[in-house]
């Protein structure tokens, strides 16, 4: 009954803090259009593997953040999106409340302490506030269950504990936000080590517990394979490898978060909870748990400060953590471990005040800190920006404009310039996928390397950023060049090569000098606007998205190649750059200039081109080269060759041919097999645990 009552309080606090209207947040500009586009296809029986509408093409499943195989997302298939999200968020709040209470009780804490811990996790901090970015709470909600499993593993080998740890790991990874999941793996491991140290376990116990922990985590990773394998494929071909210190934590919002933890706000612990957290160090009965919780609180807070402390170098060199951009996300762990520290502190008071015949008095005294914490949490400003039904009409506001743009552009592309995601959030780039508009850019933190280098060179004059934001996140940066670099207008040929026919930008940006310079030098022509808030420009120099070229040259290193193809005089139909060995020999009688080819099928996973070649040549499609694409020329396999850095070409003999590009990624099949094996093993362990409980004496 106590748990049920607390769940009602948490849900009521959440509902009361929902505003009547809200400013657009990640839910609007990223997740709503991503979910709608994805689950429309899944409901129609189509597994979306390749997204041709963003960044000249990008693996759909590899982008992670949509959490496409997260079990709760099954609601998106059968319910209106805003209803499904509201129900799943309510479930998350209930689950984290009950599982936190269960962990506290399993660790030996009192009911009052368990209630206190659940309040501090469910009523404040990153999880409830993070509902505006659903993949974070969907990943974080499994942390208490994994911690319960670790307590079991510290005591004896329990198949049920291994299964619970594996399921918690898999479900957290399937949510599509691996950063908190990796933090949780570290935290679970530290809890296991602390528990073994506190119990003075022997070598046999250490080996058994650590082996079971590694096996549970390994099974969880295997169970999440359908999501992780395509994502790892994208990581290998992407920009999130070996991040520089500047790219990690370019600013530290953790400072403001920690300030609000003391002064009040959505991350406020309150004075009463802070005092209780300090008292955890003085517990006798729960000494190990208290010191572990306090130590992890201090460690995660220090790591969250990023480059503001010398410990940042330690953080960067821990396995996997150097691939995550914002260390402050570790504060999600802080929320949980501090809640446990405060709960231990509450029971410390009970220990110190316990006396014969004073049981009721001690129980009454335990309620007082819980009430004080509850009052402080209720008074703090949550500043919740989340809303549900209000989102749908808002982000459909530009539907007519998007549909008109899709019709005008046809097979060609559009470049949305000027940070539409911040200036016009209701026209978010992710809506391009929803309305099937092929756009040059996107907001995608896990972007492929070739797209990143190509678009970064356009604005920076180099294939990597040398100024803030230090890392490509899906869209070209400011058109204002870095010091000593020529304006982006001198590299506008890169737009032509990517088949960018239209440029869309907020109307007032046409007066900005660097934008005006680009418009003038590129000869963009103003067209009747598709929407009152944006300007529409047409590029008269756009190159065909599919063409034939008869002369090729081996590509030089990346920056030299991008400099060559961005020059005004570069003509891809006269000569294109290719990578690797190409058996296309240019003879003296080859035509000096190629020509456009006809796209006859332009689906998401399949593109077919009809091309007439006067001489053996290369058929080029200005879509992104990426592993997993195969080609057939008149039904016969042909190699797919990186062409002009970003695009793909196929050699073909003289004559009229049908060239078929098809996306067949082995990573999806491998991931699906891994998930099947992982969940079979998890289910087998769970059944073994059930049989063991039934056979054991009561």
Residue-wise pLDDT tens digits, 549-560: 999 999 999 999
Please identify which residue in the block is written with the tokens 């920009």.
239
> Do 273 and 376 touch, CB atoms closer than 8 A?
yes
Do 533 and 606 have their domain in common? no
Residues 509 and 564 in one domain: no
Q: Residue 294 domain-assigned?
A: yes
Q: Is residue 625 part of a domain?
A: yes
**Could you give the 3-state DSSP secondary structure of residue 188?**
helix
SS3 string, 54-75, reads CCCCEECHHHCCCCCCCHHHHH
Q: What is the extent of the structural domain holding 80?
A: 2-141+239-386
Check residue 352 and give its pLDDT. 65
Angle between helices 225-236 and 203-223 (to 10 degrees): 80
Same domain, 455 and 551: no
Among 354, 386, 418, identify where a domain stops: 386
pLDDT score, position 252: 64
Query: Is 209 a domain residue?
Result: no
Task: Report yes or no on 649 lying in a domain.
Answer: yes
In this structure, the answer to whether residues 436 and 358 fall within a common structural domain is no
Report pLDDT for 104.
Answer: 96
In a domain, 211, yes or no: no
Residue 296 resides in a domain: yes
Separation CA 188–CA 296 (nearest Å): 11
Q: Tell me, yes or no, whether 698 lies in a domain.
A: no
pLDDT of 97 reads 95
Give 275: exposed, middle or buried? Use CB within 10 Å, 0-12, 13-18, 19+: middle
**42: nearest Cα among 9, 7, 66:** 66
**Boundary of a domain, candidates 339, 363, 386:** 386
Q: Are residues 580 and 621 in the same domain?
A: yes
The tally of domains found in the chain comes to: 3
Same domain for 243 and 137: yes
Q: Does 336 share its domain with 405?
A: no
Find out whether 517 and 500 touch, Cβ atoms under 8 Å.
Answer: no
CA quadruple 335, 337, 343, 348: dihedral, nearest 10: -140
Whether 470 and 526 share a structural domain: yes
Task: Name residues of the chain where pLDDT drops below 70.
Answer: 19-24, 157, 240-242, 249-253, 262-264, 352-366, 381-387, 418-426, 582-587, 696-698
Domain end (from 386, 413, 445): 386
Please give the pLDDT value at position 431: 86
521 located within any domain? yes
Burial label for 319, CB within 10 Å (0-12, 13-18, 19+), is exposed
Are residues 23 and 103 both part of a single domain? yes
State whether 552 and 593 are in the same domain: yes
Query: Do 553 and 619 have their domain in common?
Result: yes
Provide the pLDDT for residue 74: 94
Tell whether 25 and 108 lie within a shared domain. yes
pLDDT in the model for residue 317: 87
């Amino acid at each position: 009954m106590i748990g049920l009552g607390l769940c009602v309080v948490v849900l009521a606090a959440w509902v009361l803090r929902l505003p009547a209207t809200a400013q657009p947040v990640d839910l609007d500009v990223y997740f709503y259009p991503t979910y709608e586009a994805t689950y429309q296809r899944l409901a129609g029986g189509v597994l979306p593997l390749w997204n041709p509408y963003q960044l000249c093409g990008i693996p759909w499943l590899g982008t992670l953040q949509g959490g496409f195989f997260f079990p709760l997302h099954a609601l998106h298939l059968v319910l209106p999106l805003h209803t499904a999200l509201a129900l799943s968020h309510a479930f998350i709040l209930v689950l984290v409340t009950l599982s936190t209470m269960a962990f506290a009780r399993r660790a030996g804490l009192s009911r009052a302490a368990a209630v206190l811990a659940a309040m501090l996790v469910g009523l404040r901090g990153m999880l409830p506030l993070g509902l505006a970015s659903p993949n974070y709470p969907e990943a974080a909600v499994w942390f208490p269950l994994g911690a319960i499993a670790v307590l079991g593993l510290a005591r004896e080998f329990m198949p049920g504990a291994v299964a619970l740890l594996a399921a918690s790991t898999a479900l957290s990874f399937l949510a599509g936000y691996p950063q908190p999941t990796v933090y949780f793996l570290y935290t679970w491991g530290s809890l296991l080590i602390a528990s073994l140290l506190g119990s003075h376990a022997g070598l046999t116990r250490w080996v058994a517990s650590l082996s079971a922990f590694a096996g549970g985590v390994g099974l969880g990773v295997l169970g999440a394979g359908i999501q992780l394998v395509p994502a790892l494929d994208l990581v290998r071909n992407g920009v999130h490898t070996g991040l520089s210190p500047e790219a990690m934590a370019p600013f530290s919002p953790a400072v403001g978060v920690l300030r609000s933890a003391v002064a009040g706000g959505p991350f406020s612990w309150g004075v009463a909870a802070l005092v209780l957290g300090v008292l955890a160090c003085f517990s006798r009965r729960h000494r190990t748990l208290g010191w572990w919780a306090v130590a992890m609180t201090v460690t995660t807070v220090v790591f969250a400060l990023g480059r503001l402390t010398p410990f940042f170098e330690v953080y960067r060199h821990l396995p996997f953590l150097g691939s995550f951009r914002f260390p402050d996300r570790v504060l999600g762990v802080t929320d949980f471990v501090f809640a446990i520290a405060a709960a231990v502190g509450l029971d410390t008071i009970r220990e110190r005040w316990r006396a014969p015949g004073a049981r009721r008095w001690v129980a009454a005294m335990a309620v007082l800190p819980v009430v004080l914490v509850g009052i402080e949490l209720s008074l703090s400003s949550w500043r919740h920006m989340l809303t549900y039904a209000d989102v749908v009409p808002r982000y459909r506001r530009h539907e007519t404009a998007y549909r008109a743009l899709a019709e005008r552009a046809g097979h060609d592309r559009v470049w949305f310039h000027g940070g539409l995601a911040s200036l016009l959030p209701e026209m978010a780039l992710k809506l391009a996928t929803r309305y099937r508009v092929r756009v040059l850019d996107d907001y995608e933190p896990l972007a492929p390397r070739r797209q990143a280098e190509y678009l970064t060179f356009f604005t920076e004059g180099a294939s990597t950023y040398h100024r803030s934001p230090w890392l490509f996140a899906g869209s070209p940066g400011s058109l204002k060049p870095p010091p000593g670099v020529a304006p982006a207008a001198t590299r506008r040929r890169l737009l032509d090569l990517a088949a960018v026919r239209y440029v869309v930008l907020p109307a007032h940006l046409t007066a900005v000098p660097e934008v005006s310079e680009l418009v003038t030098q590129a000869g963009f022509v103003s067209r009747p606007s598709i929407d009152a808030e944006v300007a529409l420009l047409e590029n008269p120099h756009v190159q065909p998205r599919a063409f034939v070229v008869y002369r090729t040259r081996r590509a030089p290193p990346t920056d030299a190649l991008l400099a060559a193809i961005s020059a005004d005089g570069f003509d891809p139909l006269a000569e294109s750059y290719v990578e690797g060995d190409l058996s296309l020999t240019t003879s003296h009688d080859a035509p000096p200039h190629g020509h456009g080819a006809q796209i006859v099928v332009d689906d998401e996973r399949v593109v077919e081109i009809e091309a007439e070649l006067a001489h053996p040549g290369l058929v080029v499609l200005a879509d992104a080269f990426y592993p997993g694409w195969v080609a057939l020329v008149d039904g016969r396999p042909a190699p797919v060759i990186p062409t002009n850095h970003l695009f793909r070409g196929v050699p073909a003999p003289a004559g009229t041919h049908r060239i078929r590009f098809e996306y067949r990624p082995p990573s999806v099949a491998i991931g699906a097999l891994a998930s099947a094996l992982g969940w079979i093993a998890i289910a087998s362990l769970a059944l073994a645990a059930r049989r063991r409980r039934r056979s054991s004496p009561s």
